[in-house]
Structure 1
Amino acid sequence: MVDASQIQEHAEVIGADGAHIGTVDGVEGDRIKLTKSDSGVGAHEGHHHFIPLSLVADVEGTQVRLSANADVAVTYEQEQGGEPTE
């Protein structure tokens, strides 16, 4: 697993396929918190979404690359309350 301290606020989160997933608002526990204004592909707006750190394959400067393609990674997203998005 990648060291969470390497993940910078406002870094772009992209899938293994290079597709944009969201923008980092911060890291909380074992999850990346995405900004409300840019929280996932096709996700409903107005609250934060989270991506598990276990999906992070690499961190390169201002980019966080996941080990899963974007369409798969968003199925792991959780809403602010901890429930998976549908």
Structure 2
Amino acid sequence: MTDLTTIVEHMEIIGADGVHVGTVDRVEGDRIKMVKADSGSHSDHHHFISTGLVAAVEDGKVRLSASGDSAILLEEEQNGGAIMDDDA
């Protein structure tokens, strides 16, 4: 199990394939709150990712167990719901 207390502000979050997923704002409970700039077209608010996806914290980065593309699909809104596409 990864020690989540080692996750700190401004760490890069990468997928298992090394692809950039986001940047840590802070850990809130069992989720990582990402900076607003990593929320794409939703840049007016934060997105979250489950700490259950964290495979390791190494070299100043949070590495996820899912690939970058998959991890982005697993991001959540503040309320825990799925990210809704603005074009849907």
TM norm structure 2: 0.86
Counterpart for residue 10 of structure 1: 10
Please tell me whether the aligned partners of residues 76 and 84 of structure 1 are also in contact (alpha carbons under 8 angstroms). yes
CA distance in 1, matches of 2:18, 2:44: 25
The whole-number CA distance in structure 2 between the counterparts of 1:63 and 1:57 is 11
The residue number in structure 1 matching 2:42 is 44
- Please report how far the alpha carbon of residue 79 of structure 1 lies from its aligned counterpart in structure 2 after TM superposition: 1.1
Matched with 1:74 is 72
Aligned residues: 84
Q: Is the 8 A contact 1:10 1:62 kept in 2?
A: no
Residue type of the alignment partner of 2:49? I
Cα RMSD of the aligned pairs, angstroms, is: 1.4
- Which amino acid in structure 1 is aligned with residue 79 of structure 2? G
Unaligned runs of 5+ in 2: none
| Cα displacement (A) at 1:51 | 0.5
* Structure-2 separation of matches of 1:38 and 1:51: 12
Where has structure 1 moved over 3 Å in runs of 4 or more?
Answer: none
Q: Which has the higher helix share?
A: 2
